[in-house]
A and B are shown apart, each in its own frame.
Chain A
Amino acid sequence: MKHLEDRKYIIGAIFVVFALIFIIRLFYIQILSDEYAIFSEDNVVREETVYPPRGLIYDRKNKLLVYNEASYDLMVVPKQVKSIDTNAFCALLDITKDDFIERMNKAKEYSFYKPSIFEKEISAIEFASIQEKLFAYDGFFIQTRTLRKYSDSIAAHVLGYIGEVTPKTLEKDSFYTMGDYIGKSGLELQYEKLLRGKKGKRYVLVDVHNRIKGKYKNGEKDISPQAGKNLQITLDADLQKYAEKLMRKKLGSVVAIEPKTGEILTMVSSPGYNPNLLIGRAIKKNYPKLAKDSLHPLFNRAIMSLYPPGSIFKLVQSAIALQEGVITPNTGFACNKSLVGCHNHPYARNVREAVKMSCNPYYYQVFKRLIQRGENKNIFIDSRIGLAKWHDAVLKFGLGHKLGIDIPGEKSGFIPDVAFYDRWYGEKRWAFSTIYSLSIGQGEIGVVPVQMANLAVIMANRGYYYTPHFIKQIEQLDTIPQKYTFKHSTGVDAQNFEYIIEGMEAVVNEAGGTARRAKIDSITVCGKTGTAQNPHGEDHSVFIAFAPKENPQIAVAVFVENSGFGGTWAAPIASLIIEKYLTGKISNPQKEKRILEADLIPKSEHAQRK
């Protein structure tokens, strides 16, 4: 018996030994090892990104142009949907029972466990009534998103749009994560870094089904987001809207700038598009449509289209010639149509009349004097010297290079130089006679509409300009980028501009001027017409102007494709814009009506679109 009774020690020892093993194991996993604590946090703590509101954009009069609007999607997780009162639910959403079944089937097809959209983009008002009753319907929840909205649906090309970030950008910029929105064009792209703000972080506790259960550590680790900066831009929303209205059914562009500051008041590229088409989910449907349109509505003609400037270039020729001293204000040339074609008009006795009547042979002579100055006996070499000097002078007018405007995609335009012609014709194989069409702004010369408007600014300012720009004020910042407050001088004396401006005044206001249709009774408008030859069809019509003559408030360039002579269409449009901006009303409704009714889109284009 004694022997067997001792076995109690062995049995007791077995109990104790296993308990000890447990205690050692527990000591290890609970105290020595910290991996389980980390796993436990990984399990329940979820990091969520809190998106900052994107900066708003206001116009120069503080009118809200771009804002964010909450949009609500009703989501469904089919697995979680329990038996619900379908009739009441359908009534709540104002859908039929068939709709309900169809949408549920679609959601189930996508996934039983993952949420899919049941009803898209519910308005704030509907949302309020749905939210109240939603608790009764398991498996349904509301997901909030913000949509960028563009009030008045204007200035699409200027404001641009936002869209989902591309994989390429994701690689380059760690700020973004998949599905983030980023500025894709216009000001949205240009000022992306200001508008986007700074993302915040939020830590939440989730249960095994990934449902949010509350804050992690009462939110002490959360980082609140920083809202994007609001911007005020130089655009005048009313003027922009009016200009867009005038340009309807026309191809071309309007650019209006405040001469004293370089602030862009209006920039229209026609045809445009409604910026609200490219928001949220609609972008997927609408973008390809717009991209395929034969009239290229997504293309911003105002900064991307190169045109020969035509006669408006005579202003530049005049200014340079006067400054260089190759002519005096009173130099006159006969209208010798054997040199270059011209219309019938009286003899231009001075610069003023030459501008007023836009005499082609006159500028042939002027340009000849600029190019062949007799500095070398060899006319080829002489022309090289002349062209080089001329090229430098022209560039100072903001032509032939990018102005540096603050929306992306600006083209530099083209002013031919010595190297260009050397390449084209060969060294010493060209002279004035080869390149004379430059004298009247034709030939190998390309200018974008914003540069034309800038030319009007230079005229208005009598010789200087500020880089045209949109940015007026950045929230919490006192300054705008320095390059927009830098005064660019053309190197031509102000006095020399006065002679030309006299001519520009006459263009509009005197009998025999080429743009009588631009006349406004109460305001002295100074302008210059131009006609850009178009080898593909009807010529393009261009008109640049500023007003009033003294202390100019607005400079404008209007370019209408395929509309013939500059005085016919471009000039009256410019005058309406000037009058609207300066007086706020239109004194000649007849003029306005004519423009609004005109359809200047070429017939062939119409046919093609159908």
Chain B
Amino acid sequence: MRNENNIWYNIDWTTIILYLLLMLIGWINIYAAVYDESHQSIFDFTQRYGKQLIWIVSALFLATVILLIDSSFYTTFAYVIYGIVILMLIGVLFTASEVKGAKSWFSIGGFALQPSEFSKFATALALAKYLGNRSSQRMITFKDQVISAAIIALPALFILLQNDTGSTLVYTAFILVLYREGISGNILLLGFLTVIVFIVTLLFGPFSIGVMTVFLAIAFVTLTYHGLKEFFIAESAAGVLLWIASYFNLPQKYLFFTALALVMIYFFVHLFNNKLNYRKEKRWVAFIVMTVLLFITSIDYVFYNVLKDHQRTRISVLLGEEDKIKSQIKDLQMRLDTLPTTDANYTYYKQTLAEQKQSLKDLQKGALWNVKQSLIAIGSGGFSGKGFLKGTQTKFNFVPEQSTDFIFCTVGEEWGFIGTFIVIILYVMLFLRLIFLAERQRSTFSRIYGYSVASILFFHFFINIGMTIGLAPVIGIPLPFISYGGSSLWAFTILLFIFIKLDSERLFVLR
């Protein structure tokens, strides 16, 4: 029986318990992160753990309010809420002052609010509303795709204008939602491949990847449609060309464009000449090779011209920039040692060496510092950790932003593998529970919203923990329910509890 007066009726306690556990873990670790001997009371409201307690209590209050509101409110006012948040995002651009380079905080009477945190659930609502009403439930039309993309991109764009790249990237998480709703799996795969090619290119340089792609393509085409003889001839010809080019020290750029031109000629010849043993697959191979060549040529451009300095270093740090510079320094040193001081290049090498040493120093003091100290904190936790309040990395401030973005370091250092394992398992349980809940919804709206919640939380989880253990670039976004901060805790609570409310009324709604 439905009991309209009991807000606790039919809600999913598993999710709520996971939510409470994560908040508790967060609070304990915030206490450890900012702990010092002079402020020991856990209820000291001048300290972050005291403030976080206030945030937690108020978040619980907020959760209750959300549960009190009828779920039809969210479906009805989805676009209105979305509109208000967009206005706030625009407003913050004009009124906010910069905090750590980003203009994303509203300040209302000594009370700071971050609209970008709230735009996530608003976007999820709007997307759910739009796709929930789409013409065909089975598939997602091109028009639907474009409009969905616009709903997602609009707040992302304003957040990007606030200079908050981290929060902008969160919106890519909606790809998972769209995937569930019917866009081609190839898009997911393509995105994945793009990231891989991007990383590999940055690691090994575009040249080697380009050469590899061309040789592989030749091998594929010759072996599939011709014979072994042709394979050897074609590969040797390519090899000789490459050798000549490197012998004459031709710039790699020319090689690329030559290869690109050859592939394009091949492509067009096969496209328009049916007489030449035309096959569809061959055309595809040529197309892929062309795309890869174009893409890897553009990576350098994107990397050096589109990305900002700090973004670039964060990516190169992740890709082992330190070792790269170190080996370059070693190389230069060796060369200098064997070179007579009278040599014409001596001063040049010496200068380069000094420059490299300086950049290594800058790197170690700057971008590398955070990643390294965070890794040290987590790595030194061992199996069972150093114990509550005994983390030296945390206590002595080696880890930056340790109560907000790097809170996972405190977990790793003081609670060890046991702690980090438990946190990850709790998150995975939450994500899988959310998928389970989403799938049992009768309404498309609720399902889409549920997947949005899971995807957003997952993206935060992936980037935040990934950066602390050196698997993702340093992007400053909070760890849901654990990181210190009122706006983010409130926003995540609203995001989650709207879904819990929707779920609790799933049996009575059919949209």
Which residues of A line the B interface, CB within 8 A?
1, 4-5, 7-8, 10-12, 14-16, 18-19, 21-23, 25-27, 29-31, 33, 35-37, 39-41, 43-44, 205-209, 213
Contacts and interface: CB of A to CB of B under 8 A. Distances in A.
Given A21-B471, A25-B469, A4 B182 contact: yes
Contacts of B137: 1
Nearest to B398: A208
B382 A37 contact: yes
A19 B416 CA distance: 17
B375 interface: yes
A22 B424 contact: yes
B396 A35 contact: no
A29 B469 contact: yes
Contact of B392 (A4, A7, A22, A44): A44
Contacts of A44: 392-393, 396, 398
Given A27-B417, A208-B396, A15 B431 contact: yes
Nearest to A211: B396
Which 9 pairs, one residue from A and one from B, show the smallest C-beta to C-beta distance? A36-B379, A207-B396, A40-B380, A29-B379, A44-B392, A30-B417, A37-B380, A208-B397, A39-B376
B456 to A, nearest CB: 13
A23 B421 CA distance: 7
A36 B138 contact: no
Contacts of B398: 43-44, 207-208
The CB with the most chain A CB atoms within 10 A, among B425, B431, B466, is that of B431
A18 B427 CA distance: 11
Contacts of B181: 4
A26 B469 contact: yes
A43 B377 CA distance: 10
Interface residues of B, number: 48
Contacts of B376: 36, 39-40, 43
B144 to A, nearest CB: 14
B179 interface: yes
20 contacts: A1-B137, A4-B181, A8-B180, A11-B435, A11-B454, A15-B431, A18-B458, A23-B420, A26-B417, A26-B420, A27-B417, A29-B379, A30-B412, A35-B379, A36-B379, A37-B380, A40-B377, A43-B398, A44-B396, A205-B392
Interface string B405-432: 0000000100011001100110110011
A11 B451 contact: yes
B435 A12 contact: yes
Contacts of A5: 439
A204 to B, nearest CB: 11
Contacts of B392: 40, 43-44, 205
A375 to B, nearest CB: 72
B138 A4 contact: yes
B459 to A, nearest CB: 10
B412 A26 contact: yes
B462 interface: yes
Contact of B383 (A11, A18, A30): A30
Contacts of A206: 396
A26 B383 CA distance: 10
Contacts of B393: 40, 43-44
Interface string B277-321: 000000000000000000000000000000000000000000000
A39 B180 contact: no
Q: Is the interface of B mostly helix, strand, loop or mixed?
A: helix
Nearest to A38: B380
Contacts of A25: 469-471
A470 B425 CA distance: 78
Interface string B14-30: 00000000000000000
Given A11-B179, A26-B412, A205-B392, A37 B471 contact: no
B179 A7 contact: yes
B176 interface: yes
Given A15-B454, A43-B393, 12 more contacts: A11-B451, A15-B458, A19-B425, A19-B427, A19-B428, A22-B424, A22-B465, A26-B378, A29-B378, A44-B398, A207-B397, A209-B397
Contact of A4 (B180, B425, B432): B180
A29 B380 CA distance: 8
Contacts of A11: 176, 179-180, 435, 451, 454
A7 B139 CA distance: 13
Given A11-B176, A36-B375, A37-B382, A30 B420 contact: yes
A31 B382 CA distance: 5
A195 to B, nearest CB: 38
Q: Is the interface of A mostly helix, strand, loop or mixed?
A: helix
B81 to A, nearest CB: 25
B115 interface: no
B254 to A, nearest CB: 40
A33 B417 CA distance: 12
The CB with the most chain A CB atoms within 10 A, among B181, B412, B428, is that of B428
Contacts of A40: 376-377, 379-380, 392-393
Contacts of A30: 378-379, 381-383, 412, 416-417, 420
A7 B462 contact: no
Contacts of A29: 375, 378-379, 469
Contact of A7 (B180, B396, B431, B470): B180
B427 to A, nearest CB: 7
Interface in B176-230: 176, 179-182, 185
A35 B380 CA distance: 8
Contacts of A19: 424-425, 427-428
A15 B380 CA distance: 27
Contact of B469 (A1, A22, A35, A207): A22
A8 B397 contact: no
A252 B470 CA distance: 77
B380 A36 contact: yes
Contacts of A36: 375-376, 378-380
Contacts of B469: 22, 25-26, 29
Contacts of B375: 29, 36
Given A21-B471, A26-B420, A39 B380 contact: yes
The CB with the most chain B CB atoms within 10 A, among A27, A30, A36, A208, is that of A30
Contacts of A208: 396-398
Given A11-B180, A30-B412, A37 B379 contact: yes
A210 to B, nearest CB: 10
A7 B383 CA distance: 36
Nearest to A4: B182
Nearest to B392: A44
Contact of B417 (A10, A18, A31, A41): A31
A190 to B, nearest CB: 45
Contacts of B381: 30
A205 B395 CA distance: 11
Nearest to A37: B380
B374 to A, nearest CB: 10
A1 B447 CA distance: 13
A22 B451 contact: no
A1 B138 contact: yes
A11 B188 CA distance: 11
Nearest to A25: B469
A43 B379 CA distance: 13
Contacts of B421: 23, 26
Interface in B359-394: 372-373, 375-383, 392-393
Contacts of A8: 180, 435, 438-439
Contacts of A33: 379
A4 B396 CA distance: 51
Nearest to B137: A1
A31 B179 CA distance: 37
Contacts of A31: 382-383, 417
A207 B435 CA distance: 44
A12 B432 contact: yes
Contacts of A4: 138, 180-182
B176 A14 contact: yes
Contacts of B428: 15-16, 19
A33 B376 CA distance: 11
